[in-house]
């Protein structure tokens, strides 16, 4: 128990959460190991990505910090650092940056969305546009002062990656909701156990009840389905661990079904 508590404390420190206490020690260790690997990879990538900044001229340090605070990616920062060497004043530079922001915000303004202050759209901005069905309009936004320029188009790949994640989660939710509905319907049909033996009221002949055999088959099929999904919708790192409502339905139905199966088997 002490070892389990130590692992759970480490999980908490790493930001790992579990839906309930049904997970095993091996699953906890696996979640911790995966989290540490991802953190190490992210740190290595960050250090590698930031090495070019060491070559930025001292007089551009302030501009570099400002561009980073605006949420710009490395390519965008390099663009503006290069552009800054061709302008005659800081005022001209900031005017150009503000004009870029104005162009990127026009789609949001037309649709009553909050303006953003980042040159690079933040993840939450992409999600906001996607939820309002405005991604295509936003990507194809034309700068009124330069009809050939679409200021948001360079971020199409970035937006598509985020949208892909959102759509994957939507598919997972749809799949989970379909499973939940199937489980509820199938369990509803099993609440009444048919008698194992039936007696013909006219002849008095006793025979096996086919409906009982069908009930047993259906109950065992449902039990297998539930057992296959308990881990999917209950363990950290699995695709459904963020759907506690579905996980609750799967576990509670399993807990109700097993006594029914035992009761059916005890029939004479």
Q: Domain residues of the chain, as ranges? A: 2-161, 171-265
Phi (first) and psi of residue 80, to 5 degrees: -75, -30
pTM of the predicted structure, to 2 decimals: 0.51
The whole-angstrom separation of Cα 226 and Cα 248 is 11
Residues with Cβ within 8 Å of residue 250, at least 6 apart in sequence: 179, 180, 183, 226, 229, 230, 233, 234
Q: Sign of torsion, CA 19 25 29 34?
A: negative
What pLDDT was estimated at residue 233? 66
| Contact criterion met (CB below 8 Å) for 248 and 230 | no
Determine the pLDDT at residue 140.
Answer: 87
Could you please state the CATH topology (level 3) that the domain comprising 171-265 is classified under: Methane Monooxygenase Hydroxylase; Chain G, domain 1 (1.20.58)
User: What pLDDT does 149 receive?
Assistant: 76
pLDDT along the chain (268 residues), means of 10: 72 71 76 81 64 77 76 73 78 75 76 71 83 88 75 82 89 88 92 86 81 92 88 53 75 91 84
pLDDT at 267: 78
- For residue 238, the model assigns a pLDDT of 47
């Amino acid at each position: 128990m002490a070892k389990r508590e130590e692992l759970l404390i480490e999980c908490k420190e790493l930001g790992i959460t579990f839906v309930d206490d049904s997970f095993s020690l091996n699953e906890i260790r696996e979640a911790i190991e995966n989290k540490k690997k991802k953190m190490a990879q992210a740190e290595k990538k960050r250090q590698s990505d930031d090495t070019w900044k060491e070559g930025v001229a001292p007089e551009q340090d302030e501009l570099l910090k400002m561009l980073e605070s605006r949420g710009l990616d490395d390519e965008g920062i390099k663009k503006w650092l290069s552009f800054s060497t061709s302008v005659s004043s800081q005022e001209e530079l900031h005017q150009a940056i503000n004009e870029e922001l104005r162009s990127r915000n026009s789609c949001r303004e037309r649709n009553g969305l909050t303006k953003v202050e980042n040159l690079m759209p933040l993840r939450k901005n992409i999600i906001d546009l996607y939820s309002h069905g405005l991604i295509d309009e936003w990507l194809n936004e034309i700068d009124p002062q330069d009809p050939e320029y679409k200021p948001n188009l360079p971020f199409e790949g970035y937006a598509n990656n985020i949208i892909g994640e959102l759509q994957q989660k939507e598919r997972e939710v749809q799949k989970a909701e379909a499973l939940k509905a199937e489980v509820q319907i199938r369990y509803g049909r099993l609440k009444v156990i048919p008698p194992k033996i039936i007696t013909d009221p006219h002849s008095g002949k006793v025979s096996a009840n086919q409906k009982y055999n069908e009930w047993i088959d259906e109950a065992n099929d449902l039990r297998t389905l539930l057992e296959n999904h308990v881990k999917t919708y209950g363990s950290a790192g699995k695709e459904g661990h963020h759907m506690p409502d579905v996980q609750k339905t799967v576990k509670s139905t399993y807990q109700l079904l097993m006594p029914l199966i035992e009761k059916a088997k005890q029939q004479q």
